[in-house]
Amino acid sequence: MNKRLGKFPRIAILAFCIFVLSCLLGRNHFLLGTALIAGRWLYMVFGICFIYMVFKRDTPKYLKWFLISIMALLLMEFSWNRLNEQSLDSLENENSTTLTIMTYNLFFKNGAPNSSIKNIQEVNPDILVIQEVTPTWEKDLDQTIGVQYPYKMTLALKGTHGIGVYSKYPLKSNQYLPAGSKYPFAQMLEIEVNSKRIQLVSVHLASPAAAVEQPDKFLRLISKSYVEREKQIREINALMEYDSFDAQIFIGDLNTTQYEPLYRKLTNDWVDLFEEVGVGSKRNFPNTSKMKPVLTLDYIFIRGKAKAIESNVIQGGSSDHLALSGKFEI
């Protein structure tokens, strides 16, 4: 006859089930959803261990089946997310064009711009998307790489709000969001690439920096920044014209980690280029001399008639972000 499961293990299993169920029910909430995504594999390990315990001991039936049900729901949630991830359309046109694109948060306080400019020159992207571009940064870029990029649309501002695009292909129909604001979080424009139309959305979404700077208000401020980013993406989505373009690009500093529900929602509509064909580590923030990056904040998402080729995080540079490059056919 099996020994009876102790009181403490029963309480631990019950608490585990209630916590995971709360995360599953609140999967779209910033804190609960992030806990679910970040800890999914850990919950699976604990769940398997607990299942082993309840079947090796005399355990109340309600607890046994509660645990099994929670683990089944966890597996279903994971499978559902995988099934809903976006994929690229087939590329049947033989006259395709290969594009290299790069996103770089230049850092408005960058004290050694030549190091970051060297990174840009080495990648030599067809399309360069930049954030935190100040008037000084714009002047430096125009003097060093301006000749390579006959087309540019930039809004250089003091501080962290500047945004812009440099391109070897024609740019048109430029629009900053929010409309009429001098502090944009996004830039929407069209790129002509050998008779193909690409809609590009360059973003620098709401930053959680205030939460980091005020630890006593961390949870409230980081949740507030998440809600603001959700609102910004809804505004962008309302203006996008999926059927009017051969392909679309959603790129820049999203200030969003891969563990947040917002990232999961994006992968239901877009293909994360690095997840598709990336090489090495995707982490790109913070870039300091004291530690390696621990977070991913910058992304290249694509959708439409395109074929992913490669994506890389560019090492070095003097910004607090590492740049991200990608290559695909259209």
Average pLDDT, consecutive stretches of 10 residues, N- to C-terminus, the chain (330 residues):
81 95 94 94 95 89 93 94 82 81 97 95 98 97 96 95 97 88 92 93 94 90 94 94 90 97 94 95 93 95 94 96 96
The order of strands in the sheet holding 171-177 is 171-177, 186-193, 196-204, 247-253, 298-304, 271-272
Please report the pLDDT score of residue 89 as a whole number: 78
Domain count, the chain: 2
Structure tokens at 124: 């030599």
Which of 15, 49, 84 corresponds to the end of one domain? 84
- The residue range of the domain holding 200 is 98-329
38 and 152 fall within a common domain: no
Strand extents, DSSP E, 19-75? none
CATH label of the domain that carries residue 274: 3.60.10.10
- What burial letters (b/e) apply to 215-236, b meaning 16+ CB within 10 Å? eeeeeebbebbbebbbebbeeb
Which of 44, 59, 84 corresponds to the end of one domain? 84
Closest-CA residue to 293 (of 277, 317, 274):
317
190 and 300 fall within a common domain: yes
91 assigned to some structural domain? no
303 assigned to some structural domain? yes
Cα–Cα distance measured from residue 141 to residue 143, given in angstroms and rounded to the nearest whole number: 5
* Residues 18/74, Cβ–Cβ less than 8 Å: no
Please report the pLDDT score of residue 92 as a whole number: 67
62 and 153 fall within a common domain: no
242 and 192 fall within a common domain: yes
113 and 62 fall within a common domain: no
92 assigned to some structural domain? no
State the Cα angle at 310 between 305 and 312, rounded to 5°. Answer: 130
79 and 176 fall within a common domain: no
1 assigned to some structural domain? no
123 and 13 fall within a common domain: no
56 and 128 fall within a common domain: no
Which of 84, 109, 137 corresponds to the end of one domain? 84
Please report the pLDDT score of residue 144 as a whole number: 96
51 and 104 fall within a common domain: no
31 and 142 fall within a common domain: no
Closest-CA residue to 50 (of 5, 105, 92):
5
255 and 316 fall within a common domain: yes
